[in-house]
Chains A and B, each alone.
Chain A
């Protein structure tokens, strides 16, 4: 198999889901069998097979990246620029090949799961069409070789996310959530686009490789380079729901649960991390520090909120945000491979957690339906409990995912999380930013705590609502099988033979941290190669940090789990009492740090206020002037008319009147009587005589 074949296969893998979208959107509801769900699922499975072929071929036979370019737009020769053209294309390296597999695996499983979960939905075929469109756009992000198409697909996944969150748009909360997701993402994309503008203006290309080469030649450096890096990362802040733009993701849970699994847990939200990994080489030390802090703060905020939530999906949503923060923090602190590794492992176990919760919600929903209860929230964990007995497969798979996310040995999560913490540890030690590892370890404990809280409240103990519990059943095979597959994918042996050694995994073997192209003075001192020393200071510290980090993280996780059991399983600690004792803190966390209220009262209200002002300004001021000048003109013309009528015509009339007056007077003389005329004549003759003869 040669390079061109691989490229061809990649294009095919990209387009198959899109084909499904086109078929289903036009003919899905009426013409296609089963509304086309099988067709769409089959096409995605096709993509999955192709992805595996590409993946294995790439890592086994092609050590170098495979790139294919084509000229999309050509502006010809441009003054002060040269040949201006935009080339697009596809890049297959180990990073994208791995990501390709991750996306298609999760997407395929979600497709299959949805066949059961979305059965009898009002817009069944539309749902599958959108899933196809999403998969297409997501694969576009993975395969692109340039910033331009990255941005294009970036927005396209945003649209599919918008459409799927708003799938049940009859509900106001769903359409609100969809709108919010898109607009908040747009804010991040705005920054991303400004970053792209800087890159285009200074390097005259969008292509990743050419951009990095240009930076290496010093065409973009200093503050502008850092700005470009941070701005590009803004895209990731939006899409990966990082602080301060994380507010959309919890609301996005209004979408169908399999969508939450695919888009809002495993793949799309991880795109931000992927983007950061893609552009990693151009991140300066300042940009990386910024990224690390954003990640750490996000991980911390989200984890604290997750503790207090009672909606099963919201807990998972905040845990997703927190884990994404983890990955971002890893990348920022230099643990590139660990961050990406966590993306991969997280995709499996978080998709599993969501599908598992979907299985629970599905069961709850049916039970509520049976007892004609339309008011109880099927997602509220306070109505659950004891489901373990009724839904054993869901429970045991859920347990594996929970262990994985908590970072317990024998799971994939242990391997990746451990590396992240080791990286943070080394980074904190060398750079002096000790807050990063501190937060990292603390969040590890929090994560274990709230995840086990969720597990215990949902599956352990006595059922809180007996009436519902009686009607709970395990989900059908089409839903359970994906759960089992994902559970297997959450175990260590998928990644490497040794459950305690992350460096033995294939991810560590095939994914390599890219060489930074940033000028040396803008890099961390400890990342630079030194004369006569084989490894950098950072790598050395990383190696040393490995064992302490592992023990510490295990300890934290163990503590978290212990507290969870003490509180929710054995009842040794009363959650209410703790909440009451820390009332202000609890309220603050319960209300998600009041971010929504803050944004609502500042940005949203301000924008609406200004827009109202603009309308007012248009109607009152501008149109006031326009209409006012029209009135003035009219007034003026009226007064001119009056002047015309009264003065000029008045004068004319006066003249006429005077003439008439004299006419009247003279008319009086001419009364038509001959006698009078004779008298005039006689009188005149007398006068004349008097004049001439006198």
Chain B
């Protein structure tokens, strides 16, 4: 599918870059133009995502089959022959979506758009929006790239603007937070890079143009054991090197999720980041970690996945319970929400580790739902912070009467976060548990206790903020305004809609999820039984 001769995925990825160039060209003193350009560009991205949705074919699986991917764009990007002993280097510009990435594309477009609106009041507009749009391209690119090299490039592209956005527009400890974020993520990137290079030298395919054998970064090729050269480092199944690679890759992605104990960058980054950046960070960036596992780790290293599924499920449990407990002890509203994010991402990890239809469906749904719910939560924190300039939970009380509309929105978001049926968070959590229970009974049961703790800290927070008597100093806090409502209400509608009728989201991913589960478990099991496969 093409628009003006350019593929629609290229449009959706690079539209923000185009807008960024316009933003940079805007003359001084025209800050409003910059804002409108950005909002329109991200708005167009949402429309493009909607176009993708309307033309999406629900019967195609994707995952490891090229035919199963949709809106595919594949061009030769880099072709250098004879670089020293490397031989010929061929890298493709290879984009496509399937059921795993489609929900993420929609989520990214949506959250970026809402983030752009929420950024309206930030200072140093030009620099901010330029970086913001660059970030947008990076995120979108990660979700549609099918070439590992390209994936890596987008992954890194997103890192740099994030560093500056936290480091310049952040709170008092912004430099510490930004550096921590950067170095942590970079550590993950290095691990990913090493595995990627190892995979590059292990796989080779016949180049359709010249007919000669070349190494490749093509993810789909890496998923097929036949493409591995005998004797190369990652050939075979269930070899030590493959396990090491799986773990390295896992840590690389785990940092992003974040999985305990690699999580401490998150509370710092969130607390220091300005509201819209927190929204992006929690709403989209965290999902890149779990998406990476689904897109790369699982199908390329199914043997490693099967081997380490149990530890992964345990990590999911730890995330859920530990995150919830740590959240309960926080006195800073934003930090509490940050820890709740860690807890909620644990559901994703647990669901994926279950490796069955319900678990993985629940996991991807949770990625989407957490994206919308947590975006709401951070916007909510922002609304309060903009007015009161403090986030201390013990400094408030009685806001329910002072800010009734705000209270109404908060109640929806809070109840969604604690997994109340009728709201989207419940559906994904329930599916994760139902799925996980089939594979790991006790881990699922222990993890479900997290639901009680979550209710505890959410309701306690509600009480501290909204109930009781209003302190004298907050007598003049204005209620939520129209612009803030514009950012929150659409998310609330999505949360309610998917809570009552989740089928649109489930159907979107269903074929791919079933295929992924089958492919990964069969491949992993096969190697297990037969020893080493070609």
- Given the complex, which residues of B lie within 8 Å of A611, measured CB to CB? 325-329, 453, 457
Q: Indicate whether B204 reaches chain A with its CB closer than 8 angstroms.
A: no
B455 in complex: contacting residue of A182, A194, A614, CB < 8 Å: A182
Residues of A within 8 A of B506 (CB): 73-75
Known contacts A74-B503, A183-B456, A190-B451, A155 near B510 by CB under 8 Å: no
A506 to B434, CA, bound (A): 41
User: Are A170 and B469 CB-contacts (below 8 A) given A79-B518, A155-B420, A622-B264?
Assistant: yes
Does B65 lie at the interface of the complex (its beta carbon under 8 Å from any beta carbon of A)?
A: no
Decide: B398 and A190 in contact? CB cutoff 8 A.
no
Closest partner residue, chain A, to B327 (CB atom): A611
Task: Kindly identify, within residues 307 to 335 of chain B, every residue whose CB is under 8 Å from any CB belonging to chain A.
Answer: 322, 325-330
Q: Please measure, in the bound complex, the distance between the C-alpha atom of A152 and the C-alpha atom of B502, giving whole angstroms.
A: 14
Q: Is residue A672 within 8 Å, beta carbon to beta carbon, of the partner chain?
A: no
A-B contact pairs, 26 of them (CB 8 A): A72-B501, A73-B502, A74-B506, A75-B357, A79-B357, A152-B421, A154-B421, A159-B415, A169-B400, A174-B467, A175-B468, A182-B459, A186-B452, A193-B430, A197-B433, A197-B445, A200-B434, A200-B437, A201-B434, A607-B456, A611-B328, A611-B457, A614-B329, A615-B329, A618-B326, A630-B183
User: Is A673 in contact with chain B by the CB < 8 A criterion?
Assistant: no
- The answer to whether B326 and A75 have CB atoms under 8 Å apart is no
Picked from B183, B455, B467, the residue with its CB within 8 Å of the CB of A175 is: B467
Residues of A within 8 A of B467 (CB): 166, 169-170, 172, 174-175
Q: In the assembled complex, which residues on chain A have CB atoms less than 8 Å from the CB atom of B415?
A: 159
A197, closest chain B residue (CB): B437
- Report chain A residues within 8 Å CB of B180: 626
Cα–Cα, bound, A76→B463 (Å): 43
The minimal Cβ–Cβ distance linking B516 to chain A, given in whole angstroms, is 12
Contacts A183-B456, A197-B433; is A78 near B357 (CB within 8 Å)? yes
Interface centre among A169, A611, A623 (most CB of B within 10 A): A611
With A72-B503, A75-B357, A197-B433 given, is the CB distance from A179 to B459 under 8 Å?
yes
How distant is the Cα of A159 from the Cα of B418 in the complex, in angstroms? 11
For chain A residues 626-675, which have a beta carbon within 8 Å of chain B?
626, 630
A73 and B264 within 8 A (CB): no
Is there an interface contact between B437 and A201, defined as CB atoms closer than 8 Å?
A: yes
Minimal Cβ-Cβ distance residue in B for A206: B434
1/0 per residue, CB under 8 A from A, across B276-306: the answer is: 0000000000000000000000000000000
Among A77, A201, A618, point to the contact of B438 (Cβ < 8 A).
A201
A610 within 8 Å of B (CB atoms): yes
Asked if A186 and B264 make an inter-chain contact with CB atoms under 8 angstroms apart, the answer reads no
**Of the residues B326, B462, B503, contact of A615 by C-beta under 8 Å:** B326
CA distance A607 to B415 in the complex (A): 21
> What chain B residues lie within 8 Å of A12 (beta carbons)?
none
- Given A197-B437, A615-B330, decide whether A75 and B455 contact each other with a Cβ distance below 8 A: no
Q: Is the CB of A183 within 8 A of B422?
A: no
Q: Do residues A176 and B463 form an inter-chain contact, with CB atoms below 8 A? A: yes
Q: Is the Cβ of B514 less than 8 Å from the Cβ of A75?
A: yes
B358 within 8 A of A: yes
- Asked whether any CB of chain A lies closer than 8 Å to the CB of B218, the reply is no
Q: Counting CB contacts under 8 A, is B449 at the interface?
A: yes
Does B130 have its Cβ within 8 Å of any Cβ on chain A?
A: no
Which 7 pairs from chain A and chain B are nearest by CB? A152-B421, A175-B467, A615-B329, A169-B467, A611-B328, A614-B326, A611-B329
Question: Taking CB as reference atom, which chain B residue is nearest A26?
Answer: B408
Check if A156 is an interface residue, CB within 8 A of chain B: yes
Known contacts A78-B514, A623-B264; can you find 20 more A-B pairs with CB under 8 A? A25-B408, A75-B506, A78-B357, A81-B357, A154-B421, A162-B459, A169-B467, A169-B468, A170-B467, A172-B467, A172-B468, A175-B468, A179-B460, A183-B456, A186-B451, A186-B455, A193-B451, A194-B448, A197-B434, A607-B325
Which B positions have Cβ atoms within 8 angstroms of A? 180, 183, 261, 263-265, 267, 322, 325-330, 356-358, 361, 398, 400-401, 408, 415, 420-422, 426, 430, 433-434, 437-438, 444-445, 448-449, 451-453, 455-457, 459-460, 462-463, 466-469, 501-503, 506-507, 510-511, 514, 517-518, 521
A201 surroundings in chain B (CB, below 8 A): 434, 437-438
- Inter-chain contacts of B463 with A (CB < 8 A): 175-176, 179
Which residues of the partner chain A approach B507 to less than 8 Å between Cβ atoms? 74
Q: Tell me which residues across on chain A come within 8 A of B264, comparing CB atoms.
A: 618, 622-623, 626
Q: Mark A180-215, 1 if CB is under 8 A from B, else 0.
A: 001100110010011001101100000000000000
Min C-beta distance of A680 to chain B, whole Å: 59
**A151 interfacial contact with B, CB 8 Å:** yes
A60 at the interface (CB under 8 A from B): no
Whether B469 contacts A78 by the Cβ 8 Å rule is: no
Contact with B along A212-234 (1 / 0, CB 8 A): 00000000000000000000000
Chain B, residue nearest A151 (CB): B421
Given the contacts A179-B463, A612-B329, A77 and B514 also touching, CB distance less than 8 Å: yes
Q: Are A155 and B421 in contact (CB under 8 A)?
A: yes
A187–B452 touching, CB < 8 Å: yes
Interface presence of A528 (CB below 8 A): no
The CA of A622 and the CA of B460, in the complex, are separated in Å by 26
Task: Say whether, besides A155-B421, A172-B468, A197-B437, A610 and B261 are in contact (CB < 8 Å).
Answer: no
Q: How far is the CA of A178 from the CA of B467 in the complex (A)?
A: 11
For residue B292, give the distance in angstroms from its CB to the closest CB of chain A: 22
Q: A159–B514 contact, CB under 8 A? A: no
Q: Which of B356, B457, B468 sits near A78, CB closer than 8 Å?
A: B356
A608 contacts the other chain (Cβ, under 8 Å)?
A: yes
Contact of A183 with B325 at beta-carbon distance under 8 Å, contacts A75-B510, A79-B518, A200-B434 already known: no
- Cross-interface CB contact of A156 among B325, B422, B451, cutoff 8 Å: B422
Instruction: Tell me the bound Cα distance from A265 to B408 in angstroms.
Output: 28
- Is there a chain B Cβ closer than 8 Å to A371's Cβ? no
Instruction: Flag whether A504 is at the interface (Cβ < 8 A).
Output: no
Across the interface, which residues of A come within 8 angstroms of B518, CB to CB?
A: 79
Tell me the A35-62 residues at the B interface (CB within 8 Å).
none
Could you tell me if B503 and A73 are in contact, using CB atoms closer than 8 angstroms? yes
> Shortest CB–CB separation between residue A188 and chain B, in angstroms?
10
Nearest residue in B to A79 (C-beta to C-beta)?
B518
Q: In the complex the two chains form, is A75's CB within 8 Å of B361's CB?
A: yes
B159 to chain A, nearest CB (A): 18
* Given A197-B437, A608-B328, residue A169 in contact with residue B466 (CB < 8 A): yes
Residue of A nearest to B454 (CB): A186
Contact B329 A190, beta carbon cutoff 8 Å: no
B residues near A75, Cβ cutoff 8 Å? 357-358, 361, 506, 510, 514
* Cβ–Cβ contact A183 & B468, under 8 A: no
Most buried by B among A78, A166, A198: A78
Measured between alpha carbons, how far is A622 from B262 in the docked complex, in Å?
8
Q: Is A84 an interface residue (CB 8 A)?
A: yes
What residues of B have a CB within 8 angstroms of the CB of A623 in the complex? 264
- Chain A, residue nearest B398 (CB): A170
Give Cα A194–Cα B445 distance, bound, in whole angstroms: 7
Contact present for A76 and B444 (CB under 8 Å): no
Which of A74, A154, A162, A607 has the largest number of chain B CB atoms within 10 A? A607
Contact indicator A610/B325 (Cβ below 8 Å): yes
* CB closest residue in chain A, given B322: A614
A615 to B467, CA, bound (A): 25
Interface flags, A57-95, vs B, CB<8A=1, else 0: 000000000000000111111111100100000000000
Which residue of B445, B453, B459, B511 is within 8 Å of A607 (Cβ)? B453
Question: Which residue of A has the minimal Cβ distance to B324?
Answer: A611
- Find the A residue at minimum CB distance from B180: A626
Instruction: Give the distance in Å from the alpha carbon of A238 to the alpha carbon of B233 in the complex.
Output: 57
In the assembled complex, the Cα of A17 lies from the Cα of B448 at a distance in Å of: 32
* Closest chain A CB from B359 CB (angstroms): 11
- Expressed in whole angstroms, the Cα–Cα distance for A611 and B343 within the complex equals 13
Instruction: Tell me which residues from 601 to 620 in chain A have a Cβ below 8 Å from any Cβ of chain B.
Output: 607-608, 610-612, 614-615, 618
Chain B residues with Cβ under 8 A from A178's Cβ? 459
Which A residue's beta carbon lies closest to that of B507? A74
CA distance A162 to B326 in the complex (A): 25
Is there contact, CB below 8 Å, between A622 and B261? yes
Report how far A81 CA is from B357 CA in the complex, Å: 10
